[in-house]
Structure 1
Amino acid sequence: MSKELDFESALAQLEQIVRELERGDLPLEKSLELFEQGVRLSRECQERLSEAERRIEILLQDANGRVFTSDLGARGLGESGTGEEDGRDADEDDIPF
C-alpha cells in the first residue's frame, strides 16, 4: 500500500477487486493481474492491522509489562469511567497504568 492510500481506501479497493473477480467474466490475464493486486492489498492491510494490534497492546500494558484486558461490555463503566455502577469502586488493578 502506498503512503497515500489509507487502510480504509485499501480495503475498499480490495473489496472492489473481489467483486470483479467473482463476476467471472474477465479474461485470464486481467483476472491474474487483479488477483495479484488483491493479494498485495490483503497482505498490506493485514500488516497494518497487526501493527495497530501491537500498538494497542503496548498502550494497554500495566507497569509490569503484562497486557491489561477488560471486557467493557460485560461489566460496563459508568459515565465517570470508575466502574461504580456495577456496585464496586474501581481500584488500581482496574487501571492499566
Structure 2
Amino acid sequence: MTNNKSFEQILEQLKQIVNDLENNQLPLDQAIDAFETGIKLTKLAETKLQDIKDKVTKIVKDNNPTDFKVNEE
C-alpha cells in the first residue's frame, strides 16, 4: 500500500471497493481481499486527515489569530 496517493485518490479507490462489494461483483476470495484493502486505505486516509489537522493547528497557532481584531459596526 503506497503512501504517495492523494486523499482524493484514496477516496475514489474506497468508493470503487464499496461499490464492488455492495453489488456482489466479486467472488468471495476477491471480496475478502478488497475488504482488507479497504481497511488499509481507510487507515491511510485517517492518517492523512490527522496530518492535515495537525498542520492546520500549527498554522493557526503560529499565526495567533487572537492578535487580529474585527471591526464590529
| Structure 2: gaps spanning 5 or more residues | none
Q: Which protein shows a greater Rg?
A: 1
| Deviation of the 1:44 alpha carbon | 0.0
* TM-score normalised by length of structure 1: 0.62
2:70 matched residue in structure 1:
83
2:54 matched residue in structure 1:
54
2:5 matched residue in structure 1:
5
1:16 matched residue in structure 2:
16
**1:36-62 deviation digits (Å, cap 9, x = unpaired):** 110011100010001100111111116
Q: In angstroms, what is the RMSD of aligned CA positions? A: 2.7
| Deviation of the 1:25 alpha carbon | 4.0
Q: Comparing both structures, which one devotes a greater share of its residues to helix? A: 2
Counterpart Cα distance in 2 of 1:68 and 1:23? 48
Aligned pair count reads: 72
Counterpart Cα distance in 2 of 1:26 and 1:3? 26
| Structure 1: gaps spanning 5 or more residues | 70-81, 88-97
- Where relative contact order (Cα < 8 A, 6+ residues apart) is larger, the structure is 2
| Deviation of the 1:9 alpha carbon | 0.7
1:43 matched residue in structure 2:
43
1:73 matched residue in structure 2:
none
Q: State the identity as a percent.
A: 30
* TM-score normalised by length of structure 2: 0.79
